[in-house]
Chains A and B, each alone.
Chain A
Amino acid sequence: MTDLRTKTVPEERVVRPAAETPAHNRLVMLGRGRSLLMDALLILASLVIIYPLLWMLVSSFRPTDVIFRSPGLWVNDLVLTNYTQGWHALGNPFGHYLMNSALVVIGAVAGNLLSCSLAAYAFARLRFRLKTLWFSIMLVTIMLPIHVVVVPQYILFNQLGWVNTFIPLVLPKFMATDAFFVFLMVQFIRGIPRELDEAARIDGCGHWRIFARVMLPLMGPALATTAIFTFIWTWSDFFTSLIYLTSPEKYTVPVALRGFLDSTSGSNWGAMFAMSIVSLVPIFLAFLFGQKFLVKGIATTGGK
Chain B
Amino acid sequence: MSAISELSHIKVTKAKSPEERLARRKEATRDNKAGYLFLLPWLVGLVVITIGPMIASLYLSFTNYSLIQAPEWTGLANYARMLDDARLHHSLKVTFIYVFVSVPLQLILALGIALLLDKGMRGLALYRSIFYLPSMLGGSVAIALLWRQMFGTDGIVNQILRLFGLEATTGWISDPKYALGTIILLHIWTFGSPMVIFLAGLRQIPGMYYEAASVDGATRWVRFTQITLPLLSPIIFFNLVLQIIGAFQSFTQAFVVSNGTGGPSDSTLFYTLYLYQRGFGQFQMGYAAAMAWLLVVIVGVLTAINFFASKYWVFYDD
The answer, yes or no, to whether A121 is at the interface (CB within 8 Å) is yes
From residue 49 to 85 of chain B, which have CB atoms closer than 8 A to chain A? 49-50, 52-54, 56-57, 60, 67
Distance of A35 Cα from B231 Cα, bound (Å):
25
- Cβ-closest chain B residue relative to A237: B139
Q: In the complex, which of the residues A4, A131, A242, A272 contacts B226, with contact meaning CB atoms closer than 8 Å?
A: A4
The answer, yes or no, to whether B10 is at the interface (CB within 8 Å) is yes
Distance of A15 Cα from B214 Cα, bound (Å):
10
Please give the distance in Å from B106's CB to the nearest CB on chain A: 13
Stretch at the interface among B14-22, B97-105, B196-204: B196-204
Q: In the complex, which of the residues A122, A128, A236 contacts B28, with contact meaning CB atoms closer than 8 Å?
A: A128
From residue 3 to 39 of chain B, which have CB atoms closer than 8 A to chain A? 3, 5-7, 10, 12, 27-32, 34-39
From residue 217 to 241 of chain B, which have CB atoms closer than 8 A to chain A? 218, 226-227, 230-231, 233-235, 238-239, 241
Cβ-defined contact, A187 with B1, below 8 A: yes
Cβ-defined contact, B197 with A299, below 8 A: yes
Cβ-defined contact, A280 with B3, below 8 A: no
- Count, chain B residues at interface, CB 8 A: 124
Interface of B is mostly: helix
Distance of A144 Cα from B156 Cα, bound (Å):
38
Distance of A69 Cα from B156 Cα, bound (Å):
8
Distance of A302 Cα from B35 Cα, bound (Å):
27
Distance of A298 Cα from B239 Cα, bound (Å):
11
Residues of the A chain whose Cβ atoms lie less than 8 Å from the Cβ of B31: 126-128, 207
Q: In the complex, which of the residues A122, A238, A283 contacts B137, with contact meaning CB atoms closer than 8 Å?
A: A283
Distance of A176 Cα from B40 Cα, bound (Å):
10
Please give the distance in Å from A116's CB to the nearest CB on chain B: 8
Residue in B42, B136, B299 whose Cβ sees the most chain A Cβ within 10 Å: B42
Please give the distance in Å from B37's CB to the nearest CB on chain A: 8
The answer, yes or no, to whether B167 is at the interface (CB within 8 Å) is no
The answer, yes or no, to whether B279 is at the interface (CB within 8 Å) is yes
Residues of the A chain whose Cβ atoms lie less than 8 Å from the Cβ of B91: none
From residue 148 to 204 of chain A, which have CB atoms closer than 8 A to chain B? 148-156, 158, 172, 174-177, 180, 182-183, 187
The answer, yes or no, to whether B301 is at the interface (CB within 8 Å) is no
Cβ-defined contact, A299 with B200, below 8 A: yes
- Cβ-closest chain A residue relative to B57: A152
Q: In the complex, which of the residues A1, A136, A269 contacts B230, with contact meaning CB atoms closer than 8 Å?
A: A1
Cβ-defined contact, B7 with A136, below 8 A: yes
- Cβ-closest chain B residue relative to A299: B200
Residues of the A chain whose Cβ atoms lie less than 8 Å from the Cβ of B248: 145
What residues of chain B have their CB less than 8 Å away from a CB belonging to chain A? 1-3, 5-7, 10, 12, 27-32, 34-46, 48-50, 52-54, 56-57, 60, 67, 113, 116-117, 119, 121-122, 127-134, 136-137, 139-143, 145-150, 152, 154-156, 159-160, 163, 189, 193, 196-197, 199-201, 204, 208-209, 212-213, 215-216, 218, 226-227, 230-231, 233-235, 238-239, 241-242, 245, 248-249, 251-252, 255-256, 259, 272, 275-276, 279-280, 285, 288-289, 291-293, 295-296, 299, 303, 313, 315-317
Q: A123-B39, A304-B201 are in contact. List 7 more A-B contacts (CB 8 A).
A: A128-B30, A149-B54, A207-B38, A239-B251, A280-B140, A302-B201, A304-B1
